[in-house]
Structure 1
Amino acid sequence: MNHEILQRIDAFAYRNRLAEVMRAPVSTIDARAPLTAAAALMAEKRIGALAIVDADQRPLGLITDRDIAHQAAMPESLGQPVHQAMAQDVATLPPDAFIFEALTELRRHQTRHLVVTDRATGAAIGIVSMSALLKLRADDALLLSTDAEEAPDAQSLKDVVATLPRLAKSLMAEGVPPRQVAGAIAAVIRDVYARVAQLAEALTLQSHGPAPAKWCFLVLGSAGRGESLLAADQDHALVHDGSEDDYPWFEKLGLHCSAILDQIGIPYCRGDVMASNRECRHNLAGWKKRIGLWVASDDEVALLNADIFFDFRPVYGEMKLAADLRALASEIGKQRTFLKRLASSIGQIEPQLNFFGGMKTKAGRVNVKRGALLPIVSGARVLALSLGVTALETEARWEAARKAGRVRPDDLVRIADCHDMALRLMLAQQLADIEKGRAPGQYVEVKRLLDFDQERLKSGLKIAAVIDLIVRYALD
């Protein structure tokens, strides 16, 4: 790994998202139009690419100035329709993806243009180009994702994971907001998961031959939401389109994935929420049954599994399977009795303030994850499910609830402030612990906080302690 480049990582690529830099609306052309018409339209609009979309505005292909230039070597071919020369393997990302993710995706597809698509509908809403992104001086941001993507073995991936604290420290020093630092960490972790799935696939192919069905590897929990800190363990699952609910091939794949992740520094999940666990591998029918059981149960473990699962995000394999699973899960997850049980479970999270308003501490530390992050994240998830919102990020989920009139604006301000503060304090504490050779965790040492931060933390813990009431009121 090039540590000199890492020292000068440009925070812009980790701070800014595609929605801020994309060109919109997308310029399109009919697939039946001749290449000469595409060239004329590009010249008129002074752009380098046109999208070809279906009736629902979902991208089917992309034609670029380079594609036309290649055809110009044979002038007679310029009269052929666009669909014969367009690229059908279109790189796409949602508008909330970070710029460095776009750079990685462009490199992966070996193309210079990427279509920005609506996360819910898949409709094209913008376009970005490699040249435009590089003008924003974001090329160094490729470093960790590229290292993960090209890692030849587990040791190389372990080096990437070991570098995450340095990335977090660099971004925080640049003044990047804590939610975006957590998002950057999560994005790199997802790239790591994707490469792990590839390495595991190669091992499984060697011992068991080709996969019996198409499949998709899913990351769950904080990495799925885009809110990872520096003490994450494994949370992953698998969906496939086989006629049977499970196959020995997928069991072997899951075991390899879990083992490699543990080897590179992402430890086994204590709750066994991993694709190596039979309960985390299903076809769509199996997942429908599994989610249905969670929804019908008031068991604490079932609710916890449902909580983690609903934040899933695909990282490798047949992405359409994940889209189908999302539609299925969102529909089942709307059941009112289930949502009320989830809301009630938030109230069972142990508050971190005592009767007199002081912070509960253990060895001088307060559990900020339990006292602040868990209620805020869980509350946002319940509200998103009730509204049918597909957003995974906690901030976006709360904002959707505000727009729907489910949450008062003044409450949302306090919740957002608590969320930012909790992430900032936990990241700072984890970095301090790592520097001292101590394992990072979810506790924050109270005495290292300024008086102002202590009072702000107490205020945050107060609003977090009533999240369940806010969510219950929103559901009524």
Structure 2
Amino acid sequence: MRLLHRASSWRLLFADGELPDPGRLPPLLAPLRDALAELGPAPTLPDAHAWQPRLVEALMRLDLPAWRISQLISDHNDWLYRRAIQLAQSEMLGQGWGSPPVAFCVLIMGSGARQESLLAPDQDNGMIIADYPDSRHTEIDGYFQALGERFTDRLDQAGIPLCSGHVMARWPMWRKRLSEWGEQLILWTAERRTKRVQQANILLDFRPVHGEGVLAEALADRVARLMPRAGLFLDEMGVLLDDLPMALDRFGRLSGSLEGAPHENAIDLKRQGLLPLVAAARLLSLRHGVREIDTRERLAALVVKEVLPAERCRALTAALERLQGLQLEEQCRGLRTGRGADGWVDVSRLGEDQRLLLRHDLLQIRRLKRRAKRG
């Protein structure tokens, strides 16, 4: 059973190849209209990326919730990806490379795939190439290597930095034929090895951003068939949940004890809250054949599968939304003060009610981690 829902018209904002025309927006959306007018109709990639905090400011003024703003940031990043790929292909065509020799699909991974991006993400992407004979490998992979290098360089120059872990389509590890991706998944899930689980964890949240989406659907089908049977692999994934620290001490009190904290009241809300929630929801979804990717939909699907009670789903969804809201507010504050957009939240700036809610939400996430490890 798949969940049915009506898509929000907000998700059409960056769906087309062109940016929205501010002149066609009603007065009710004046903050967004003004922001788009400032950007202009044909911005460069760096200008379009640098405009993103202005977009967030406009959406906040329109009282959109943080989870919806996160979706729209993800949609805008998708637009940046598509534009970078199109520019790279046009450049290659002008240099005599010709058109793509076979069908391909660029994947976006991580928070972008889950449509949960906040400000200042780095790149996490890959590529699926339609199967072709080995005799054509040098010719065909050479084209896609060049394309991967060009579009990731363009994104880097625009302000979305290269992934420090090399999770990008410019590298052979993350650029493969469809059949090779299937073989890779079988290899990763065959044994209980930490490194392979970590690598697979990166891949397992993916979504097509450009190219032939049927290739991504085919890979998703292979994941859905393989994962529920990969018991040892999933058990190791559960063990790795312990490597994601919570912002709680052993007594369940708020605690920000990570190295690198800017001060004693700082909590890395992404690492100590959001990532444990995302990882636990992913593990439960893989165990029970849930194909949804974004965390909100995963939690809802786990209710349909009778893995989680509806009350727990509501509590965890609310926790996700509040954590996203706190981090987004702190990122905007960091940009205004020159610190930059990061994951640190100053707990001393929160009101007593906010601290109580934060503690409650983190306790809910800790319970979910324990539930995910049980299977």
TM-score exceeds 0.5: yes
Q: How does 1:156-195 map to 2 (within 5 A)?
A: 156-195=44-83
Aligned residue for 1:234? 123
Q: How does 1:356-375 map to 2 (within 5 A)?
A: 356=251, 357-361=253-257, 362=261, 363=263, 364-375=265-276
Amino acid in structure 2 at the alignment position of 1:441: D
Q: CA deviation at 1:143?
A: 9.6
Secondary structure of 2:210's aligned partner: strand
CA displacement, residues 210-249 of structure 1 (integer Å, 9 cap, x when unaligned): 3221111111111111100002100111111141466111
1:336 and 2:237 equivalent? Answer: no
Match of 2:109 among 207, 215, 220: 220
Cα distance between partner residues in 1 of 2:79 and 2:38: 9
Q: CA deviation at 1:141?
A: 6.8
Aligned residue for 1:92? none
C-alpha change, 1:233 and 1:301, in structure 2 (3 Å) is farther
The answer to which of 413-422 and 136-145 deviates more is 136-145
CA displacement, residues 323-366 of structure 1 (integer Å, 9 cap, x when unaligned): 21221222222223322222222232122222342412421310
Aligned residue for 1:99? 9
Q: CA deviation at 1:441?
A: 1.0
Q: CA deviation at 1:169?
A: 2.2
The answer to which of 300-309 and 193-202 deviates more is 300-309
C-alpha change, 1:310 and 1:260, in structure 2 (3 Å) is same
- 2:106–2:128 Cα contact (<8 Å) kept: yes
Cα distance between partner residues in 1 of 2:29 and 2:202: 33
Q: CA deviation at 1:176?
A: 1.5
- 1:99–1:138 Cα contact (<8 Å) kept: no
Secondary structure of 1:225's aligned partner: coil
1:210 and 2:99 equivalent? Answer: yes
Match of 2:208 among 311, 314, 324: 314
Cα distance between partner residues in 2 of 1:409 and 1:136: 39
Cα distance between partner residues in 2 of 1:164 and 1:430: 12
Match of 2:313 among 382, 397, 412: 412
Aligned residue for 2:297? 396
Amino acid in structure 2 at the alignment position of 1:184: L
- 1:233–1:268 Cα contact (<8 Å) kept: yes
Q: How does 1:40-439 map to 2 (within 5 A)?
A: 96=7, 98-102=8-12, 105=15, 151=42, 156-205=44-93, 206=95, 208-243=97-132, 244=134, 247-334=141-228, 335-356=230-251, 357-361=253-257, 362=261, 363=263, 364-439=265-340
Secondary structure of 2:63's aligned partner: coil
Q: CA deviation at 1:201?
A: 1.6
Aligned residue for 2:21? none
C-alpha change, 1:301 and 1:427, in structure 2 (3 Å) is farther
Cα distance between partner residues in 1 of 2:177 and 2:33: 34
Cα distance between partner residues in 1 of 2:221 and 2:25: 36
- 1:430–1:441 Cα contact (<8 Å) kept: yes
TM value normalised by structure 2: 0.85
Q: CA deviation at 1:177?
A: 1.7
Structure 2 residues without counterparts, runs of 5 or longer: 19-23
Q: CA deviation at 1:142?
A: 9.2
C-alpha change, 1:141 and 1:381, in structure 2 (3 Å) is farther
- 1:147–1:160 Cα contact (<8 Å) kept: no
- 1:407–1:470 Cα contact (<8 Å) kept: no
Structure with the greater alpha carbon radius of gyration: 1
Cα distance between partner residues in 1 of 2:151 and 2:104: 14
Of structures 1 and 2, the one with the larger relative CO (CA 8 A, separation 6+) is: 2
CA displacement, residues 109-146 of structure 1 (integer Å, 9 cap, x when unaligned): xxxxxxxxxxxxxxxxxxxxxxxx98997799799999
Cα distance between partner residues in 2 of 1:354 and 1:389: 32
Secondary structure of 2:54's aligned partner: helix
CA displacement, residues 128-165 of structure 1 (integer Å, 9 cap, x when unaligned): xxxxx9899779979999999x85xxx71111111111
Measured on the aligned residues, the alpha-carbon RMSD in Å equals: 3.0
- 1:100–1:138 Cα contact (<8 Å) kept: no
Identity within the alignment, %: 28
Cα distance between partner residues in 1 of 2:327 and 2:130: 40
Secondary structure of 2:176's aligned partner: strand
Structure 1 residues without counterparts, runs of 5 or longer: 1-17, 21-95, 109-132
